[in-house]
Chain A
Amino acid sequence: MKNKWVKLWIAAFLAPTIAVLCLFYLIPILTVLVTGFTDWNGMSKPVFVGFDNYVKLISYDNTFLISMKNLFLWSLIAATAHVGFGTLVAFVLYKKRFGWRLVRGAFMIPMVISSAAWAMIYNLIFNDEYGLINNGVRKLGFGNFHVSWFYESPAAFFAITLTWLFYAVYVTLIVYNDLMAIPKEVHEAALLDGASEWQVTRFINIPLVKNAIATGIILSVTARIAGFEEVALTSRGGPGNDTYNITLMLYDGIVNYQHGYANSAATIMILLGMLVMVIINRAFKMNERTY
């Protein structure tokens, strides 16, 4: 085959992917960054307004600030309790106790069903009349227990948190994968030296899965930045705007034809995503080799 033909084939094979990359990623991201500085309804010509949209985000009402506060708290919970639980499950599964495969398989299921359906299911679980939580508490002897979880503050915040708090299977799988990659000899040598089971976990296993945990934190915080269903289908940001988040603001902006404004919120999302990457990379020194 002539070299020129190969080059043409390569170009042809890459063309569809490059088209997707440009149309759905590069151009949109550029559009977001630029039109965030414009007044634009999506149809007429965008008008450059400088930082007006960003000023409006902060000063129009407190929805943006509340969204940021919620994001901060949810990210904190995600990076600690959520990732912590996923990591714990990985370490427990690593012991390969009876039934570990079944547990791993089951843990995956909430990830493969629609998060819209999942949010609806939690809506029902927290229902005061026929939901599991309130009826369970009432059965335990607190006959007068009535909380309208998604309609009261601060209950709504916690109820939304519970829809994702324990479902950290991707963290579990990543950490588990790294645990399996640790050479058996390392453990054998440590045990021969008289290290206890706990010491092996604390001083060998945890440091060696550091990168996996950091990846888990990045993924889980990014998921919080882009969280939508768990709020839109439960409290819809309420009561008031207590449980609002940026994606909900972005959605409102799009359907209300405030596209410039929506894209300023989207810009904040992109910047926050990058910020999280940089912070976690620094904190965990992810570029250093572990062994």
Chain B
Amino acid sequence: MKVRVREIPERIFSYGVMLFTFLISIFPLVWVVVSSFKTNKEILSNPFSIPKTLDFQVYSDVFTQYNFLSYFKNSLIVAVTATLIAVFIYSLAGYIFGKFDFRGKNFLFVLCTITLLVPGYSRAQPIFALINKLGLYNTKTGLILVYTSFGMALALFILRLSFASIPRDFDEAAIIDGAGFWRIFWNVNLPLAKSGMVTAGVLMFIQAWNEYFYALVLTADEANRTLPVAVQFFNEAFSYNYTRLFAALTLVILPGIIIYLLVQEQVQNSVASSGVKG
């Protein structure tokens, strides 16, 4: 029993830290969601109160007015396309880095991954100039190109490892069966690297879905604006209609949370492993 008594302060401390961590992570979001169901008057009179009714009217208002649907579609198109392209081209490279040898391979890999250490926004002006020169200013294609470039280092880390861990016996068996280079990649290796591709894809989707700085710099009107940029305009557009402001914020944060909850383990593992190697 003596040991148990000694453990008590430590337990209180541990649970205290856990509770604090949980609350600071969840409470702001719960507050936003709950507030979106309150009337303007309720929000102003007491920010801690619980809504009296569950009225979804405000959500359909936000969706039908203010072009919310258009922002949402832009975000979805940009994030999904960029993720698909990125996973594909970095899988090609990851396969080579994981399974083949050639002169300068290590140098090239280090060069690709060391880019992780250059502060992302420092390349803003040249990228702005490049997108302008390609005639892609204020287009979704421009944003897709930029977001495709984003996760390069991280994706290569993850994908090289996935491909390297696929036994070479499979390749040799396929060669004996007369399979060519592309078929060995596409039919033999790619299916086995799926979990790595999902991990990299999830990380890149979340990054692209949430990106703000380049979306702000590279788009000019609502036809091409994504949700994170739109957030800024909600503040003005919903002047003094706080219910709508909270509802709009809820709609912006929800997709990311849902996707995360679906693939929690993968996200956590990839953050941990990429951090160590980064």
Q: Which residues of B lie under 8 Å from residue A115 when comparing CB positions?
A: 210, 212, 228
Known A-B contacts A112-B260, A173-B268; the reply to A250 vs B44 at CB < 8 A is: no
**Residue total for A at the interface (Cβ-Cβ under 8 A):** 99
Contact B121 A250 (CB under 8 A): yes
Q: Which residues of B lie under 8 Å from residue A21 when comparing CB positions?
A: 111-112, 115, 152
Distance A105 CA – B149 CA, assembled complex (angstroms): 28
**Minimum C-beta distance from A265 to chain B (A):** 8
Is A97 engaged at the interface, CB distance under 8 Å to the other chain? yes
The answer, among B111, B213, B242, B267, for a CB contact under 8 Å with A108, is B267
Is B118 engaged at the interface, CB distance under 8 Å to the other chain? yes
Is A77 engaged at the interface, CB distance under 8 Å to the other chain? no
Q: Mark B214-244, 1 if CB is under 8 A from A, else 0.
A: 0011000000000111011011000000100
Known A-B contacts A109-B260, A120-B231; the reply to A212 vs B276 at CB < 8 A is: yes
**Minimum C-beta distance from B94 to chain A (A):** 9
Within 265-291 of A, Cβ neighbours of B (below 8 Å) are at 266-267, 269-270, 272-274, 277
Within 148-197 of A, Cβ neighbours of B (below 8 Å) are at 166-167, 169-170, 173-174, 176-178, 197
Q: Which residues of A lie under 8 Å from residue B123 when comparing CB positions?
A: 24-25, 28-29, 32, 266
Distance A112 CA – B256 CA, assembled complex (angstroms): 6
Known A-B contacts A89-B21, A222-B117; the reply to A117 vs B228 at CB < 8 A is: yes
Contact A28 B130 (CB under 8 A): yes
Q: Which residues of B lie under 8 Å from residue A225 when comparing CB positions?
A: 119
**Minimum C-beta distance from B251 to chain A (A):** 10
Q: Is the interface of B mostly helix, strand, loop or mixed?
A: helix
Known A-B contacts A106-B25, A112-B206; the reply to A27 vs B126 at CB < 8 A is: yes
User: In chain B, what residue has the closest Cβ to A247?
Assistant: B121
Contact B149 A25 (CB under 8 A): yes
Within 79-133 of A, Cβ neighbours of B (below 8 Å) are at 88-89, 92-93, 95, 97, 99-100, 102-117, 120-125, 129-132
Is A219 engaged at the interface, CB distance under 8 Å to the other chain? yes
Distance A215 CA – B70 CA, assembled complex (angstroms): 40
- 17 A–B contacts from the bound complex (CB under 8 Å): A6-B100, A16-B92, A21-B111, A25-B123, A97-B15, A111-B271, A114-B256, A116-B231, A117-B231, A122-B28, A124-B32, A135-B46, A167-B24, A219-B278, A251-B216, A254-B125, A266-B121
